[in-house]
Amino acid sequence: MQTSLVTPKPIKDIHQINEIIIRIADLVMAQQIYCTTRLNDEKPLTELIILISDKSSRTLIEYVPLLDMVFEDYPDYCYRLYHTQQAKDSIKKGNLFFYEVCAPGNLCYTDPTVDLNLFTSVQHLATVIDKAKTAFNREIAKIEAFNDGAHFYLEKENYALTALMIHQQIELAYRAIELFAMGKDKITHSIRVHQKHVGPYLPVLGKLFDESNDFENKLLQRLDDAYLAVRYEDNYQINKDKLLIAMKKAEEVKKIVHEIYEKMINDFNQKLQEKKAVPVIVPEIETKVFKKASSFDKQYAADLVNRITQHLTVERIYCVNCKNTSSMQSGIFMKESIERKSQHFLLLVITKESCNLDSFTLQNSINQSPDIPATVTLLVYSIQKVNEALLDNNLFFHEVLRSDQLIYQDESFSGLIELPEYDSIKGLSWAGFNWQQRKWRAEALLDAATNISEHETVIVEVSLLNQAMEQLCLGFIYASVGYKPNQQSLKHLVNICRCISPMFDEVFPTNTEDDRVVFDILIDSIKDTRYRVPFTIDPTDTGLLHRRCRAWMEKAEELVTELLSEPGPGNGCQ
pLDDT single digits (tens) 113-155: 776 777 655 456 777 888 889 989 999 999 999 999 999 999 9
Instruction: Tell me: pLDDT of 80 over 50.
Output: yes
- What is the pLDDT, as a whole number, of residue 466? 92
Instruction: Tell me: pLDDT of 417 over 50.
Output: yes
- What is the pLDDT, as a whole number, of residue 501? 87
pLDDT band at 110 (very low <50, low <70, confident <90, very high): confident
Q: What is the mean pLDDT of residues 107-111?
A: 83
Instruction: Tell me: pLDDT of 208 over 80.
Output: yes
Domain boundaries, the chain: 14-111, 126-274, 293-409, 424-565
pLDDT in tens, 514-566: 888 889 889 888 877 777 666 678 888 888 999 999 999 999 999 988 887 76
Torsion-angle region of residue 137: left (phi > 0), alpha (psi -120 to 50) or beta?
alpha
- What is the pLDDT, as a whole number, of residue 460? 86
- Rounded Cα distance between 242 and 236, Å, is 14
Encode burial over 22-58: b for 16+ CB neighbours within 10 A, e otherwise. ebbeeebbbbbbbbbbbbeeeeebbbbbbbbbebbee
Q: What angle do CA 362, 364, 368 make, to 5 degrees?
A: 120
Collapsed DSSP state (helix, strand, coil) of residue 57: coil
Q: Assign domain 14-111 to its CATH architecture.
A: 2-Layer Sandwich (3.30)
Instruction: Tell me: pLDDT of 331 over 80.
Output: no
Q: At what angle do helices 240-277 and 214-232 cross, to 10 degrees?
A: 100
pTM over 0.95: no
Mean pLDDT of the chain: 81
- Rounded Cα distance between 36 and 461, Å, is 41
Q: DSSP assignment, residue 453?
A: G
Q: Do domains 14-111 and 293-409 have the same CATH topology?
A: yes
- What is the pLDDT, as a whole number, of residue 556? 92
**Residues 504, 476 contacting (CB under 8 angstroms):** no
CATH number for the domain running over 424-565: 1.20.120.330
- Rounded Cα distance between 467 and 554, Å, is 16
Q: What is the mean pLDDT of residues 330-357?
A: 68
The contacts of residue 21 (CB under 8 Å, 6+ apart) are: 33, 48, 108, 109
Superfamily (CATH) of domain 126-274:
Nucleotidyltransferases  domain 2 (1.20.120.330)
Beta-ladder partners of 44: 39
pLDDT band at 292 (very low <50, low <70, confident <90, very high): very low
One DSSP character per residue, 253-265 reads: HHHHHHHHHHHHH
- What is the pLDDT, as a whole number, of residue 484? 87
Helices and strands in the chain, H and E counts: 19, 8
CATH number for the domain running over 293-409: 3.30.70.1350
